[in-house]
Amino acid sequence: MHKDFMEDTADAAARVLDSNWTGRHTVPATGLYPHQWSWDSAFVAIGTRHRAPARARAELVTLLDAQWPDGRVPQIVYDVERDDDYAPGAGFWGAPTSGLVQPPVHAWAAWLVHCADPVGSAQEGFLARVYPRLVRWHGYLYGPRAGGVGLPVTKHPWETGTDNSPLWDAALARVPPEARTPIRRPDLRHAGTGERPGSRDYRRYYRLAEAYRDAGCADDVPIGFAMVCPLFSTLLAVSEVALARMAEALPDGGGGLLSPDGGGDARAGAHEAAGAQAARAHEAAAARVVAALDEHLWDEDLGLYVALDDTTGRTVRRATVNGLVPLLLADGQARARTGAATSGRTAGTAAGVGSLLAAGRAERLLATLAGPGFLGGGPYLPSTSRDDPAFDPALYWRGPAWFNMSWLLLRAVVPLGRDDLAARLREHFAVAPPEGFPEYTDPDTGAGRGTRQFSWTAALTLDVLLTDETVALPNPTPPSPPPLG
């Protein structure tokens, strides 16, 4: 990629992020999405860290400031002055946040933000501030949200991050398409009807949200939707390993800070031991998530992971990008961090590195990613397989290529040495600037879909351009030496 093009693109992406910055957080898009979204802010922080690391830290801290007492990190933190610009808003929930959640990418994002500027992070006490909150967030997912197979369940399609994916069709069909709340669609002012979920879907979305809200957002009350998502669980596992890194980096494993007097070798050794112990606990938790993924969500015929309906106990055999994201767990570095907890797992993948996944899974996932349903069938990565009967290149999560999915898979294939697939995934980011940093694109033509000037598109484009990281969980960047003389 030409140096001038890279610099121009990076500057253009940074301008989008500057425009969408409110002073405390970044909105996904000033028109369609005027509030703070949970996993959007995590992706935004990943890109912002390169040019404004302090702002990236503030992005995550602001989100975590809205954490509920039970540990959940809310899907949306509302700007109550713009409650009429998005529906459902704060008035629907009767609170300044949504009661729903989104995929747990936050600890991974926090570690990447720390690594980009470890000196500034330490000066602000960033890890010490976010680590206990992130531990509570994961604890909520392992506790009230644990499903029958031990993986967290999502209570609404909006929680999956892939709202109208075919993975949720059968479960959503059980929900009556009726809601008490008048349904406004301000989203249609910013995107065509053929690019957004339909009115029947929205009536079901509202019906589910009403049921959850009316139950006090209690997770032990059945509301008719409880799905285990491979994307959601994978990000939990990766973020759990990120928590292990934080525990090792923090004095006393995140449980306290070293005294200013140093405390002697014995005290330092005790703190170091506490950090190692906490790290092992996080690594073991990640290994349990991956083992459950392998046991319950793998589909040998499709060559990827699928969703599980916690209500019926049956898997949903649909091929979507959600089921490719577990390729992140084939990173040999991740296996090295989890040690004996992964005994019995494969000793190598197609690239000759270790894997958290069961034997042969990484090779199958790579083949599926390169196959005709995904990258083998067109230039960009579709959200739903081109072979699925629901595939629609324009309709939200039923076919369009999303930049965060291209980024996740790029992060997965680079450590595996698959430069061919990495190059294909990077091509998606080349269409972002000329298309106005769109929310998503047609997977065959690259034409922009949804809203424009979309924050995570700009942020992840910035990350692809500026990062030299070759692993999902890098080490902190060492500080630059002082100038000579």
Enzyme catalytic residues:
163, 439
Q: Strands 36-37 and 298-299: what pairing?
A: unpaired
Please state the separation of Cα 191 from the chain's center in Å: 23
Please state the separation of Cα 465 from the chain's center in Å: 19
CB atoms near residue 477 (< 10 Å): 15
What tokens does 381 get? 């990565």
Alpha helices in 21-156 (DSSP H): 38-48, 53-64, 90-93, 106-116, 118-124, 126-142
C-alpha distances (whole Å) from 328 to each of 245, 269, 343 are: 17, 33, 18
CA-based Rg of the chain, rounded to a whole angstrom?
21
Between CA 234 and CA 238 the distance in angstroms is 6
Between CA 441 and CA 410 the distance in angstroms is 17
Give which of 322, 321, 369, 329 is closest to 353, Cα–Cα.
329
What tokens does 445 get? 């033509």
Query: Residue 314: helix, strand or coil by DSSP?
Result: strand
CA quadruple 151, 303, 377, 316: dihedral sign: negative
Q: What torsion, rounded to 10 degrees, do the Cα atoms 126, 127, 133, 137 define?
A: 120
Q: Tell me whether residue 387 is exposed, middle or buried, using C-beta atoms within 10 angstroms of its C-beta: 0 to 12, 13 to 18, 19 or more.
A: middle
Between CA 41 and CA 25 the distance in angstroms is 8
Give rounded-to-5 percent helix, strand, coil for the chain: 50, 5, 40
Between CA 165 and CA 279 the distance in angstroms is 35
Between CA 399 and CA 460 the distance in angstroms is 20
CB atoms near residue 349 (< 10 Å): 26
Between CA 380 and CA 107 the distance in angstroms is 28
